[in-house]
Amino acid sequence: MTCASGSRKECATWLSAVVLLAACSAGCGDPDGYSPELRYPVRTDPIIVKPPTTETAVPDRPGVLPIMNMLALNAPNHPLHSMLKDGPPLDPSVLAPNDRAVLQTTMDELFGTPLVPRTAGPDAEFNLRLREELDQTDAKLATGSLLYRQHCLHCHGLAGDGRGPTAFWINPHPRDYRPGLYKFISISDPQGREMRASKEDLARTVRRGLDGTAMPAFSTLSDEELSAITAYVIHLSIRGEVELNSMKNFLTFPAGQRTWDNDKEMIQSWLPTSGDNWFSSQQGAVVTPKPYPKAYESEEGFAQSVKDGWDIFKTPGDKQGGDCLKCHTDYGRKAQFRYDAWGTMVRPADLTLGVYRGGRRPIDLYWRIHNGIAGSGMVRSPHFQPTTKDEIASGKDRLWSLVNFLQVLPYPAMREKYGIKID
């Protein structure tokens, strides 16, 4: 059929098909998704080796991350210039062109593209575990990628680097998933191994958002959508970690000093390392709180536990206390900004406000104190677990006492009622 011989309507349909075909040959994928040409970029921002220990009263200015690139850090008036001496970051922008090329190709093979993401290496058995235990199926990742583009990308960035266009303007900055560290988790390893996050932890964060930060609650998403997004966050996180570790290798061992024979295999070998961390984080390490002491259910019992909690909060670590004031200066009202593991700024929470990022339920506070908050410098305190013999004999529990104290702290009338003086 030609336009000359056909009806007007047929002609219009035919023409639009030609236009669409022409547009697609220039690269069009899913009409609501990404172009097939789009690849995850190879990282260029500095890799933090040792976060600086300086503290400041004010956070970074709106529109900047503290460490944007090495060029900025080289300026003598940069607040973090001293880092160049104390533990300089690694600079991915100086990666040799050959190394960058092999990294890009191998990463594309392992992780696909934003339109067709995958998490799969050369080992079929391992790939099966990725699919079964971490939902890394192609279908789920494709759905997750689309939802991520719609809801998360402008903050968390295309590759999950926490550097989307909005990221520079909000404080705290959105999470960079690449180091595999998550703050608000319910899991902890008894042997002290570093944990990632359980799928439920990630889904909870997305469903509820993080109070007091720009991270919104996505409570209208269905469980299925949340599960696809969670799988995709894990995909980006594993991808980021493989890239991070490979890049550290390339930058630490220049050509001629390599401790491996084959670059591609070196990069591939990081996939099981990161995958294993995620597997073990799904395997039943959820912290179940010790039973809430019966004694705390009465008014006097509760009052006593709030006082005990206050005491533990103030007591220094060398006297078996919580040492909480060490960072939460003046209960957090006078705490300074410091640097976290991502090289962004964090401030020990002002605990008189009653705003908790990881959730305000008693169990959320319990998990924060029990586990610490990864990457922020708040480590898990050795003094709260296991429960001491004295505690068991007295029916008390130091961790629950701290939770009770924290729940009273923000309210002046309750502080007065329980005799807590903080001014």
Single residue of 369, 408, 409, 420 touching ligand HEC by CB under 6 A: 369
Nearer to ligand HEC among residue 106 and residue 186 (C-beta): 186
Q: 148: closest CA among 53, 225, 201, 211? A: 225
Q: What is the DSSP letter of 31?
A: T
Site for ligand HEC in 226-265 (CB under 6 A): 229, 233
Closer to ligand HEC at the Cβ: 303 or 341?
A: 341
- Strands (E) located in 54-164: none
- Alpha carbon separation from 303 to 37, 99, 197 (Å, rounded): 63, 63, 35
x/- track of binding to ligand HEC for residues 303-342 (CB under 6 A) = ----------x--------xxx-xxx--------------
Query: Whole-angstrom Cα distance, residue 100 to residue 96?
Result: 6
Contact 354, 360 (CB under 8 A): yes
Q: CB of 358 within 8 A of CB of 66?
A: no
Q: Confirm or reject binding of residue 398 to ligand HEC (CB under 6 A).
A: no
Instruction: Tell which one of 44, 104, 137, 166 touches ligand HEC (CB under 6 A).
Output: 166
For the chain, give me the number of helices (H) and strands (E)? 15, 2
Q: Tell me which residue of 389, 360, 351, 362 sits closest to 302, measured CA to CA.
A: 362
Element of type H or E holding 362: helix 362-371
- Nearest in space to 180 (alpha carbons), one of 222, 134, 241: 241
* Shortest distance (Å) from residue 269 CB to ligand HEC: 26
In the complex, the smallest distance separating the C-beta of residue 345 from ligand HEC, rounded to whole angstroms, is: 10
Distance CA 156, CA 194 (A): 23
Strand 345-346 relative to strand 338-339: parallel, antiparallel, unpaired?
A: antiparallel
φ and ψ at 209, to 5 degrees?
75, 180
Measure CA of the first residue to CA of the last residue in the chain; give whole Å. Answer: 87
Cβ nearer to ligand HEC, comparing 155 with 266? 155
Q: Which residue's CB is nearer to ligand HEC, number 95 or number 199?
A: 199
* Nearest CB to ligand HEC, comparing residues 229 and 242: 229
Which parts of 141-160 interact with ligand HEC (CB under 6 A)? 151-152, 155-156
Among 80, 402, 408, 420, binds ligand HEC (CB under 6 A): 402
Question: Smallest distance, Å, CB 36 to ligand HEC?
Answer: 23
CB of 289 to ligand HEC, least distance (A): 15
CA 81 to chain centre: 26
Stretch in the footprint of ligand HEC (CB under 6 A) among 64-72, 85-93, 116-124, 365-373:
365-373
| Residue from 80, 406, 408, 409 in contact with ligand HEC (CB under 6 A) | 406
Residue 210 within binding range of ligand HEC, rule CB under 6 A: yes
Residue 252 buriedness (CB in 10 A; 0-12 / 13-18 / 19+) = exposed
User: Could you say whether residue 187 binds ligand HEC (CB under 6 A)?
Assistant: no
Least distance from C-beta 263 to ligand HEC, angstroms? 31
Residue 118 as a binder of ligand HEC (CB under 6 A): the answer is: no
- Chain positions contacting ligand HEC, by CB under 6 A: 151-152, 155-156, 166, 170, 172, 174-175, 182-185, 202, 205-206, 210, 213-216, 218, 229, 233, 313, 322-324, 326-328, 346, 348-349, 351, 356-358, 365, 368-369, 373, 376-378, 381, 402, 406
